[in-house]
Structure 1
Amino acid sequence: MSRANSLQTEQLTDSAYYILLALLSPKHGYAIMKYIEELTTGEVKIGPATLYTLIKKMQKSGYILLNEDDDDRRKTYQITQSGELLITAEIERRLRMAAHGNAAIQTAKEGSSDEEG
């Protein structure tokens, strides 16, 4: 699938997915990293290099905005309406993928029990 496809077919990396989830409420960089680690109970950790590279890409794509304020040391980011549409579509896509996986496992189990009998 081409990366140039419409918003509905855009697929996020796991890191980008978690960053957008974190930005459902405005946060600065360190708070984004901590939120992701807490949300996933330590299963996912995103380092500063990955975080800021993806933030720049998602800002360019119009999914994230930098909030303008006087504190240059603590930049706050927020999700845009396009970002909200994207994360909603991505959640739905991932739920469908999980359902496909469960269906495949069930089919395989049924197939192996048919072969045994």
Structure 2
Amino acid sequence: MDKPYNYKKYIPLTESTYYILLALTEPLHGYGIMQKVDRLSEGSVEIGPGTLYGALQALEKEALIIKIGEEERRKIYALTEKGREILKQQVKRLSIMVRSGSVLE
């Protein structure tokens, strides 16, 4: 990676942001993102259109996602390299948390 990112600015991600970024590991339009978030979270996270489009605007402004095209008036979004790196850092953080929880076993 050419440029290190200030991960602390983004981590921890909110649950919604985490699942939106995770959904965008493949290019999708808004409705596709909502469906994939529902699948990935096994129904535990529901993102409505208002929340989703506000989040997409914020993520695009932060260069974590990019609009890559349109399909019948649907905007298609994808994860940027920066977004992928931030997502990897969040996954690493969550993995540490889960491992730490093993003290309960």
**TM-score (norm. length: structure 2):** 0.85
SS of match in other structure, 1:57: helix
Aligned to 2:61: 60
> What is the CA deviation profile of residues 71-105 of structure 1, one whole-angstrom value per residue up to 9, with x for unaligned ones?
4x2000000000010111110101101112222x2
Is contact 1:8-1:89 (8 Å) kept?
no
Instruction: Give the whole-Å Cα distance in 2 for the aligned partners of 1:76 and 1:95.
Output: 30
Q: Give the 3-state SS of the residue equivalent to 2:74 in structure 1.
A: coil
| DSSP-derived class of the 1:68 partner | strand
Instruction: Answer yes or no: is 1:93 the counterpart of 2:93.
Output: yes
Larger Rg: 1
Say what the alpha-carbon RMSD is for the aligned residues: 1.8
Which 4+ stretches in 1 moved above 4 angstroms?
none
Which structure 1 residue ranges, 5 or more long, are not aligned? 107-117
Q: How many residues align?
A: 100
Query: Partners of 1:6 and 1:60 in 2: how far apart?
Result: 16
CA distance in 1, matches of 2:70, 2:31: 17
Aligned-partner Cα distance in 2 for 1:76–1:47:
17
Q: Which has more helix, going by share of residues?
A: 1
